[in-house]
Structure 1
Amino acid sequence: MNRKVFFIAVMFGLAAVSNSVAQQPRVLTVHANKPVATIEPTMYGVFFEDINLGADGGIYAELIKNRSFEFSKPLMGWKVAQKPFTEGAVTVQNRQDKQSANPRFVRIKLANVQAGQLTLTNEGFRGMGIKKDVRYNFSTLYRTAATGISLKISLIDAKGNVLGSTVAVPAATGNDWKKMTASFTSNATEPKAQFSIEIVGNGTIDMDMISLFPSDTWKQRPGGMRADMIQMLADMKPGFLRFPGGCIVEGFDLDQRYQWKKTIGPIEERELIINRWNFEFAHRPTPDYFQTFGLGFFEYFQLAEDIGATALPILNCGMACQFNTAEVVPMDQLEPYIQDALDLIEFANGDVQTTWGKKRADMGHPAPFNLQFLGVGNENWGPQYVERLAVFQQAIKAKYPNIKIVASSGTDPDGERFDLLNNALRQMKVDIIDEHYYRRPEWFLQNARRYDTYPRNNVKIFAGEYAAQSDKTVSVDNRNNWMTALSEAAFLTGLERNAGVVAMASYAPLFAHVDGWQWTPDLIWVDNLRSLGTTDYQVQKLFSLHKGNTVVPVLLNNETVAGQDSLYATASIDSANKELVIKLVNVSGDAKVVSMAVEGIKKLNPNARQIVLQSNDLKAMNTFENPLLVSPKESAVKLKGKKLDYEALPYSVNVIRISMQ
């Protein structure tokens, strides 16, 4: 046996490839006139969770950390400097009896304070990424009875240089809260800037919701999202966007669960909570990780619409995280949770005359979002989940029979816990079962046939969370390298080949900040200025962009291509472009020469194209210094009649697109 073939077989935990198989002619036969299944538009999507500074400090472009002083330490992220020091000049006040969603604000008492004597500085989320020639928009809520107070607002680089500044002056006095705004342009780029407010004057001023946004947000929306990160998603053309998680849906306990109704409406009325990833991992504590919900359910729906994806929200089912407190709501107290689900559907789809449809319209979107899917529970398990899910299912289907319910199969893709749920959910005839797999690369190769024998019925599969672990699950040593991406590509051929069973798939987690992550591996890594698509991202993007809409058989020696001679394959028809799309993955360290024979098509254009992801190094990783180390390369290939002699390079993912005439 060739040593490279043996190496990859052992590394991925495969059985040794026999010489008899390797020496047989590799003829891949594509039966283009024998459709097997429809590939749903939702086949490949993205899963968003606020982990690894995914929202605040991530796609939500707010630069001020703890802008409303609601963190458990009210001045976390802020530094107060006084010359001379005056006790009590800066205090945190609480108006809980009047505005419980956002009770705290800062009160500043000035006694003829001059320039340079009192400054508030905010450190941002691991610093602030500031770009040259970009305008930055400042705002704050304030109230004051004094006149003559002014605020000098500035961005400062890591060396103390001023990147840009302006002066803001309260426009009115009185007891009512008002909004002050100002803007200025940065004169340089800086990845670790800080923001300062120098206050001068005489009297008292209260301030809350101190905010700074770049003007170049996604679609230039004020108070919007970080454009480069969203562009990474848009470039994938995802079929769906799952939100808001993930484990944050459950919460450490039920008090910390995600409640969508608290994430809509005016920003200042959205109630901040601690993020469960603040304290989840002792090896990666993040004490400044909270959820402000500036990115809430309305913004998630809007984002899905922006990038052409179907929205897939997940709601709490009355169960907290079973790895933490495992709290459950008694069955006779479940009604508010069910009502939240019904109200969410009305919020997304209801007429503007309905209660929740009007709330959506008041936020600027009178047209419905056309919600089709709803997840009930995240990674929950046990009979306690099944009995709660049944009540949700009955209530939702009674009022909204066309909404497809996504149900959890627990934490693992096998075992007693999985079997109990899989059997129960099928008996309940749920629409979609959500399966998760965080496993070593060899698992993904060995499970490329996982769905070959699944029942072909109305119960579909959502591969809701998967990522090959280069080390082990929850290891800080996991890396997004070419070995993990290659094994995922092989597995994805099995998902696509079984599109009659698998309706949706998404890698997880989606984003990670290089200075604020809790979990690795992750699909897209960011710092304060840049976004990086990993090798895994390149694979997910390739499959999403080239999925076709109808599966057709591709066979090697009359068998499904799922590991024979280290090859994995699937084929589909892209009817919109009138193209045959063949995906071929070679997990061997040797090149594989195959002859692709297309049957069932009268005529093929001899001029085809190939898109290839390849590296000879299984440990290769895309980095900020070399972001396209492993990236798609496109070139022409030539058919001879209805055959294509093709060389699949070592460790490669290949897409061949052939025009059908």
Structure 2
Amino acid sequence: MARIITVLRALSLVFLSVEASVHLTINSENGNATSGMLFGLMYEDINFSGDGGLYAELIRNRALQGPNPDLTAWHSEGASVTLNVDKSEPLSDALPNVLRVDVSSAASGKVGFSNEGYWGIPVNTDQYKASFYVKGDYTGDVELSLRSAIDGTVFSTKTVSVRANGQWKKYTTRFTPGKASPNANNTFTIMFDAEKVRGKSLYFNLISLFPKTWSNSGTNGLRVDLAEAIDEIGGKFLRFPGGNNLEGQSPPYWWKWNETLGDLIDRPAYPGPWGYVNTLGLGLIEYMRWTDLMGLEPLLAVYAGLYLDGTFITEEDLAPYVQSALDELEFLTGSVDTHWGSYRASLGYPEPWVIRHVEIGNEDNLWGGLPSYQNYRFNMFNDAIKAKYPDMTIIASTPEITGTPAGTWLDFHLYDKPDHLTTLFGQFDNWDRQHPVLVGELAVIAPNEPNKPEVEWTPGALRLAYPSMIGAVAESIFFMGCERNADLVQGIAYAPGFQNLNSYQWVPDLISFTADPADTTLSISYYLQKLFAQNVGDNTVAVETSEDFRPLFWSATYSQKHREYYVKMANYNGTSTDISVHIPALRNGKATWTTLSAPDGHSYNSPRNVTSKWTETEIPKSGDSWTVTLDNLMIGVLKIQK
């Protein structure tokens, strides 16, 4: 993900009305094979989409991590206690900052502290798992509770017996609330007997609260509603750890994979480049579990020696970073007889994963990184990885690089306006077939003209607040152009994937959310991804017609496995048109017409206000064809089963 982009100038496109009907004939002979993973996912921890989002942890600032620790989200409970960040009693080398709770000598009753979560904590009647470390002189009960921040209603209380004797000790418990909260404006509270610790201090750290996670992925698992939404797209790959979060803002910070492993007590903070600290709870193993559970092909990106401030690692100093990439691959794919494979097994994963694709860096054409990437950085990584893993597919992070070996994929990123994006329908028609393409990031991010729902992102720079209908139609046209070139384009992903509406750095996004699942918003572009990902064959097929592209666009594929044809269509600023589809090889077949539409081009989905419409209709055969109607700014897929 590029933090600063230049949106291409919108072209003024005027389309003539088409005739009342268009005839498409689908060739029965298969064309180019698709990659099998044409539509997929890109994930980057941006917009509080990991901590505070997809990563299910509910406690914010759980271990006071980062170079400038503070008491964000923590509040004292009781007038006789104060909270402080303490560095004198480290829990571990990775977690040196702890929460010190000072109790006055006049304290009485129950006192303690609370956490407000990531702008709230939802409470339902599923089981929660809570844990914390405590140190100090205290023997007695510690009361954990979930309660409303509005009126103090207690939804659940659990008592833990603690014997603190001056050494750090971990306590873990589970509880199930008897009732759900009406909203997410709740806190997690820890209280204890003040009289047993008058005039003293108790130390706490790594205070954690996990709800039920998606697919029973357990502690460090994924938030249910967000993971379900991603899984339901039906994508075939996951590109991670994604975008700028791989690179880091400046030395010495980059996404160090080995620091994301093992127990949470051993994972230091990562000051991510998007203005907030990553706990690294969502680490390399968690990503791999994500791909396993969703059946996604992992597209692993490795750090390639470029920081976002323009600092790059010199050729003389690059070798340790290359070795780190090799170590990461050994950790993931090595047998238990290897050093890193043995370590993986010690963490509970004796069976190696399969990694077929590795991307070297991220957007290395930016931040002044292209000369060093072209001259030595790409080659040093590529040569080392290929020497050990000759069958590995290598992806260069920019199509601007030249001279890469045949078979190297090139990662193409584009953020655009609707009108201009439609002109790129034929973008890949004449590309060099020696270098397959990954469209690793793509989205319409700005309106053609100043109209709602744009926001002024920076002075004079308009951005869409949410993906719009006209933007989704333009995206679909670009996607169809990619699909027509499926021998070249191996994968496509929308970016970014998630937006926490309480704090974000980029708009628009595929899925928006707050702590309250009722606010989770699936954008129109989300439904486009789902529509296309679930209706793609393993071979392209030619479409014959007397019509030219524009304002109507189309592509077609055939699935040998399912014996189905998929004809994708979009209408960009044209008249409502009947389209007849004829497949000479089929005498009959069951046809389903699925459309995505909205009231107008500026329509968008926002929290609790979905304007887009998804319809599915069975279409009978009329004569030798199936006929559908494609309205203006509508996307449709005609699926025909043999």
* TM-score normalized by the length of structure 2: 0.90
Conserved? CA contact 2:13–2:419, under 8 Å: no
1:394 to 383, 389, 401: 383
Superposition map of 1:287-326 within 5 A: 289-321=276-308, 325-326=309-310
Conserved? CA contact 1:606–1:641, under 8 Å: no
Aligned-residue CA RMSD (Å): 2.4
Conserved? CA contact 2:58–2:210, under 8 Å: yes
Q: Name the residue aligned to 1:376.
A: 360
1:460 to 418, 426, 436: 436
Structure 2 distance, partners of 1:164, 1:496, is 52
Q: Name the residue aligned to 2:563.
A: 578
Q: Name the residue aligned to 2:327.
A: 343
Q: Name the residue aligned to 1:286.
A: none
Structure 2 distance, partners of 1:53, 1:306, is 23
Structure 1 distance, partners of 2:114, 2:252, is 32
Q: Does 1:28 align with 2:24?
A: yes
User: Are the structure 2 counterparts of residues 152 and 523 from structure 1 closer, same or farther at C-alpha, using a change threshold of 3 Å?
Assistant: closer
Conserved? CA contact 1:145–1:175, under 8 Å: no
Conserved? CA contact 1:154–1:197, under 8 Å: no
> Displacement, 1:506?
0.2
Most deviating of 65-74 and 199-208: 199-208
Q: Name the residue aligned to 1:3.
A: none
> Displacement, 1:320?
0.4
Structure 1 distance, partners of 2:11, 2:510, is 24
Conserved? CA contact 2:89–2:98, under 8 Å: no
Q: Percent identity?
A: 27
Q: Name the residue aligned to 1:58.
A: 53
Q: Name the residue aligned to 2:87.
A: 94
User: Are the structure 2 counterparts of residues 303 and 118 from structure 1 closer, same or farther at C-alpha, using a change threshold of 3 Å?
Assistant: same
1:161 to 127, 131, 153: 153
> Displacement, 1:241?
0.7
Structure 2 distance, partners of 1:249, 1:139, is 30
Most deviating of 500-509 and 471-480: 471-480
User: Are the structure 2 counterparts of residues 375 and 43 from structure 1 closer, same or farther at C-alpha, using a change threshold of 3 Å?
Assistant: same
User: Are the structure 2 counterparts of residues 427 and 294 from structure 1 closer, same or farther at C-alpha, using a change threshold of 3 Å?
Assistant: closer
Instruction: Return the letter of the residue paired with 1:148.
Output: G
Structure 2 distance, partners of 1:384, 1:139, is 46
2:75 to 79, 102, 114: 79
Structure 1 distance, partners of 2:565, 2:146, is 56
Conserved? CA contact 1:126–1:516, under 8 Å: no
User: Are the structure 2 counterparts of residues 108 and 625 from structure 1 closer, same or farther at C-alpha, using a change threshold of 3 Å?
Assistant: closer
Structure 2 distance, partners of 1:197, 1:332, is 52
User: Are the structure 2 counterparts of residues 113 and 657 from structure 1 closer, same or farther at C-alpha, using a change threshold of 3 Å?
Assistant: farther
Q: Name the residue aligned to 1:429.
A: 406
> Displacement, 1:229?
0.5
Instruction: Return the letter of the residue paired with 2:536.
Output: K
User: Are the structure 2 counterparts of residues 470 and 355 from structure 1 closer, same or farther at C-alpha, using a change threshold of 3 Å?
Assistant: same
1:626 to 596, 604, 609: 609
Per-residue deviation, residues 552-592 of structure 1 (Å, max 9, x unmatched): 111332x7x642xx111100111111111111111135211
Most deviating of 426-435 and 340-349: 426-435
Most deviating of 447-456 and 295-304: 447-456
| Runs of at least 5 residues in structure 2 that lack an aligned partner in the other structure | 1-8, 449-456
1:42 to 21, 26, 37: 37
Q: Does 1:266 align with 2:263?
A: yes
Structure 2 distance, partners of 1:25, 1:610, is 17
Most deviating of 176-185 and 581-590: 176-185
Q: Name the residue aligned to 1:550.
A: 539
Structure 2 distance, partners of 1:76, 1:606, is 60
Instruction: Return the letter of the residue paired with 1:536.
Output: S
> Displacement, 1:215?
2.7
1:644 to 609, 615, 626: 626
Per-residue deviation, residues 507-550 of structure 1 (Å, max 9, x unmatched): 00000011122110100111212222100000011110001110
Structure 2 distance, partners of 1:344, 1:514, is 34
Conserved? CA contact 2:15–2:574, under 8 Å: no
Instruction: Return the letter of the residue paired with 2:205.
Output: D
Structure 1 distance, partners of 2:477, 2:294, is 27
2:337 to 346, 353, 358: 353
Structure 1 distance, partners of 2:172, 2:291, is 31
Conserved? CA contact 1:573–1:581, under 8 Å: yes
Structure 2 distance, partners of 1:443, 1:478, is 19
Per-residue deviation, residues 398-419 of structure 1 (Å, max 9, x unmatched): 001111111122xxxxxxxx6x
Q: Name the residue aligned to 1:334.
A: 318
> Displacement, 1:126?
1.3
Q: Does 1:608 align with 2:591?
A: yes
Structure 2 distance, partners of 1:303, 1:115, is 47
User: Are the structure 2 counterparts of residues 461 and 186 from structure 1 closer, same or farther at C-alpha, using a change threshold of 3 Å?
Assistant: farther
Structure 1 distance, partners of 2:641, 2:141, is 70
SS in structure 2 opposite 1:463? strand
User: Are the structure 2 counterparts of residues 396 and 606 from structure 1 closer, same or farther at C-alpha, using a change threshold of 3 Å?
Assistant: closer
Q: Does 1:253 align with 2:250?
A: yes
Structure 1 distance, partners of 2:501, 2:168, is 42
> Displacement, 1:184?
4.1
Structure 2 distance, partners of 1:171, 1:438, is 56
> Displacement, 1:349?
1.2
Conserved? CA contact 2:145–2:154, under 8 Å: no
User: Are the structure 2 counterparts of residues 477 and 631 from structure 1 closer, same or farther at C-alpha, using a change threshold of 3 Å?
Assistant: closer
Structure 2 distance, partners of 1:582, 1:166, is 56
Structure 1 distance, partners of 2:522, 2:632, is 22
Q: Name the residue aligned to 2:467.
A: 480
Structure 1 distance, partners of 2:437, 2:15, is 31
Conserved? CA contact 1:52–1:513, under 8 Å: yes
Structure 1 distance, partners of 2:167, 2:16, is 83
2:478 to 477, 484, 491: 491
Per-residue deviation, residues 346-380 of structure 1 (Å, max 9, x unmatched): 11111122222222222322222211111111111
Structure 1 distance, partners of 2:357, 2:84, is 47
Conserved? CA contact 1:136–1:186, under 8 Å: no
User: Are the structure 2 counterparts of residues 616 and 66 from structure 1 closer, same or farther at C-alpha, using a change threshold of 3 Å?
Assistant: closer
Per-residue deviation, residues 163-220 of structure 1 (Å, max 9, x unmatched): 2222222156452533343434152322221122122142453221011111344425
Structure 2 distance, partners of 1:631, 1:171, is 58
Structure 1 distance, partners of 2:202, 2:85, is 12
Conserved? CA contact 1:63–1:128, under 8 Å: yes
SS in structure 1 opposite 2:491? strand
User: Are the structure 2 counterparts of residues 60 and 609 from structure 1 closer, same or farther at C-alpha, using a change threshold of 3 Å?
Assistant: same
Conserved? CA contact 1:249–1:315, under 8 Å: yes
Conserved? CA contact 2:33–2:540, under 8 Å: yes
SS in structure 1 opposite 2:140? coil
2:373 to 385, 406, 412: 385
Instruction: Return the letter of the residue paired with 1:185.
Output: P
Conserved? CA contact 1:150–1:169, under 8 Å: yes
Q: Name the residue aligned to 1:657.
A: 639
Q: Name the residue aligned to 1:532.
A: 521
Instruction: Return the letter of the residue paired with 1:341.
Output: A
Structure 1 distance, partners of 2:12, 2:539, is 30
Structure 2 distance, partners of 1:25, 1:60, is 49
Conserved? CA contact 2:80–2:104, under 8 Å: no
Q: Does 1:213 align with 2:210?
A: yes
User: Are the structure 2 counterparts of residues 171 and 598 from structure 1 closer, same or farther at C-alpha, using a change threshold of 3 Å?
Assistant: same
Q: Does 1:170 align with 2:162?
A: yes
Structure 2 distance, partners of 1:653, 1:470, is 20
SS in structure 1 opposite 2:328? helix
SS in structure 1 opposite 2:342? helix
1:470 to 446, 471, 488: 446
User: Are the structure 2 counterparts of residues 597 and 371 from structure 1 closer, same or farther at C-alpha, using a change threshold of 3 Å?
Assistant: same
